[in-house]
A and B are shown apart, each in its own frame.
Chain A
Amino acid sequence: MFELLKRGLSGGRPPRQLPAPRPLKPSYDVVIIGGGGHGLACAYYLARTFGITKVAVLEKGWLASGNTARNTTIVRSNYLTPDGVRFYDESVRLFRNLSHELDFNIMYGERGHLTLAHTDAAMRTARWRAEVNQHLGVDSSLVYPDEIARLCPELNLSEDVRYPILGALYHPPGSIARHDAVAWGYAQRAAELGVEIHTHTEVTGIDIQNGRVVGVKTNRGDIACGKVMQAVAGMSSELARLAGFRLPIRTIPLQACVSEAVKPFLDPIIVSGSLHIYVSQSARGELVMGGSTDPYPLYSTRSTLEFKEDLMMHMLELFPFIGRLRVLRQWAGMADMTPDFSPVMGLTPVENYYIDAGWGTWGFKATPVSGTCMAETIATGKPHRLCAPFSLERFYNYAQVGEKGAASVGH
């Protein structure tokens, strides 16, 4: 209390900055390519849990300028496959405590999450997910329009629309958070533990000798290293190409937009797989809205009119009264999409070269759990139990983790 008063009156703030840029060292124990949430979280857990601190995170743009800065921040664990549910539920557990762990307010808000069903098939999938979720101890159930009206009175539940709402999968722990703060929090704490974070440092080549990685080339010079992890989202295939292997990934843009800010009216997060939309209201009052991925692969973050038209057509059916709300900003990220809507994590054909990719439209919610899993995988050389099902090898063993039912729309 006294501390608060003193700070408040003096106008001073605790320092919230990363160390100033400095030259690259000639070598590191671990080099992490990609300074998004996943790379930074991994660096933090490597240092904190395993005491591995001679680590460099190399980011070609500014800190967390990729999909970490572009997502719609939905966190949930009501997935379809047991492997997915266990994995994402551990992430929800870590997220709940993350503001404390990092001493950095990530503005985690448990709003509740409704996945609307407009068809019998969608109702069936919702029931299936609820059963799997409950079996694994996740708070998730099927609700009908009377209950939906109580949870979200603003939603248009009229039957006189093109796609009437028949029910929904209700997931009370579903949350939103401040995405930038998650990256900044991990970055700051990792840096305090000795991790070096180098922005504007692009990896342009991978040095491999006898099947083992020994260094990376960058626009600021070459570095030797013991181990490397790539966590570069939409650029995953390009990096893997430099390391000499290919991935089950297509890079496809995912777009989103926000409206101007209005008074709070929408508490839960609303998703509809059939209508390909999701929406929540941010703490600032903006409606944060997204849809499905673009219809074809592209390495670009351009925005389109088609996206907005498709999105608003359905948005207006669910919330007719937002017709005069203006769109404030529109943007896109490059999503690294896998055919089974699950990530690619762990070992690669190159010794000591690890991968964290295939996060597509669903990876923000996995930031803490991917960090802990990849840190253990790198430190021990063996895949962490929770990420073992997501190995690259699964595609060669025909052992995909089919999250399609749960992941047809952004998440």
Chain B
Amino acid sequence: MPCPLNGPRNIAEFVYGGVVGAAPDPASVDDRAWAEYLFIESNTRGVVREWWFHAPTAYWFIAERDTATDEILKTYPASELGKASVESDA
């Protein structure tokens, strides 16, 4: 895994953190939509944008990975998420 902070490291040093997605506002969301957010998954077969954590350095970042081939296409710091080139999947 090419870690944006540490360079290429063994995959066993990383923890998977789920697909990137926006959380609904807990104050206004209804129960059904909240359940959907908590439990329901896209489980996409193809390229997805995910949170990953490098455990030894406690560093969260973003990876774009193909879930059919296990190829990691791109990794970058989470701060880049807000930028125009990357929008949310969920």
Determine if A299 and B41 form an interchain contact, defined as CB atoms under 8 angstroms apart.
no
Whole-angstrom distance between the alpha carbons of A18 and B70 in the complex?
37
The one of A299, A302, A397, A398 that contacts B45, using a Cβ cutoff of 8 Å: A299
A306 touches B12 (CB 8 A): yes
Residues of A within 8 A of B36 (CB): 246, 396
Q: How far is the CB of A315 from chain B (nearest CB, A)?
A: 18
Measured in the bound complex, the distance between the Cα atoms of B35 and A251 in whole Å is: 20
User: Cβ of A339 and Cβ of B39 under 8 Å apart?
Assistant: yes
Please judge, given known A-B contacts A297-B16, A299-B45, A306-B12, whether A395 and B40 are in contact too, CB under 8 Å. yes
- Contact yes or no, A299 B67, CB < 8 A: yes
Per the bound structure, the CA–CA distance linking A296 and B67 in Å amounts to 10
- Whether B35 lies near A395 (C-beta < 8 A) is yes
For the complex, is A247 an interface residue (Cβ under 8 Å from B)? yes
* CB-contacts of B69-89 with A (<8 A): 69-70
Q: Within residues 1 to 35 of chain B, which ones have a CB less than 8 A from any CB in chain A?
A: 11-12, 15-16, 31-32, 35
B68 interfacial by beta-carbon distance below 8 Å: yes
A295: Cβ under 8 A from any B Cβ:
yes
| Contact indicator A300/B70 (Cβ below 8 Å) | yes
B69 and A300: CB pair below 8 A? yes
Interface residues on A, range: 20 to 34
- Closest B residue by C-beta to A310: B12
A282: interface (CB < 8 Å): no
Question: From residue A131, how far is it (CB to closest CB) to chain B in Å?
Answer: 29
Chain A hits for B39, CB < 8 A: 248, 339, 395
B70 touches A251 (CB 8 A): no
A250 touches B41 (CB 8 A): yes
Interface centre among A237, A238, A249, A297 (most CB of B within 10 A): A297
Which residues from A are CB-within-8-Å of B69? Answer: 300
* B31 partner residues in chain A, CB cutoff 8 A: 396, 398
Contact between A246 and B45, CB atoms less than 8 A apart:
no
Chain B: minimal CB distance from A204 (Å): 14
Given contacts A297-B16, A300-B68, A306-B12, contact A237 B35 (CB under 8 A): no
Q: How far is the CB of B34 from chain A (nearest CB, A)?
A: 9
The digit string for B47-75, where 1 denotes a CB below 8 A from any CB of A, is: 00000000000000000000111100000
Task: For residue B43, give the distance in angstroms from its CB to the closest CB of chain A.
Answer: 4
Report which of A248, A295, A300 forms a contact with B41, defined as CB distance below 8 A. A248
Contact B70 A298 (CB under 8 A): yes
- CB-CB under 8 A from B35, the residues of chain A are 395-398
Report the minimum CB–CB distance from A306 to chain B (whole Å).
Answer: 6
Shortest distance from the beta carbon of A396 to any chain B beta carbon, whole Å? 5
Instruction: Give the chain A neighbours of B40 by CB distance below 8 A.
Output: 246-248, 395
Name the A residues within 8 Å of B44 (CB-CB). Answer: 237
A396 to B39 CA separation, bound complex (whole angstroms) = 9
**Residues in chain B within 8 A of chain A (CB atoms):** 11-12, 15-16, 31-32, 35-36, 39-45, 67-70
Known pairs A248-B39, A299-B45, A306-B12. 9 more at Cβ < 8 A? A237-B44, A246-B41, A247-B41, A250-B43, A298-B70, A299-B67, A396-B31, A397-B35, A398-B31
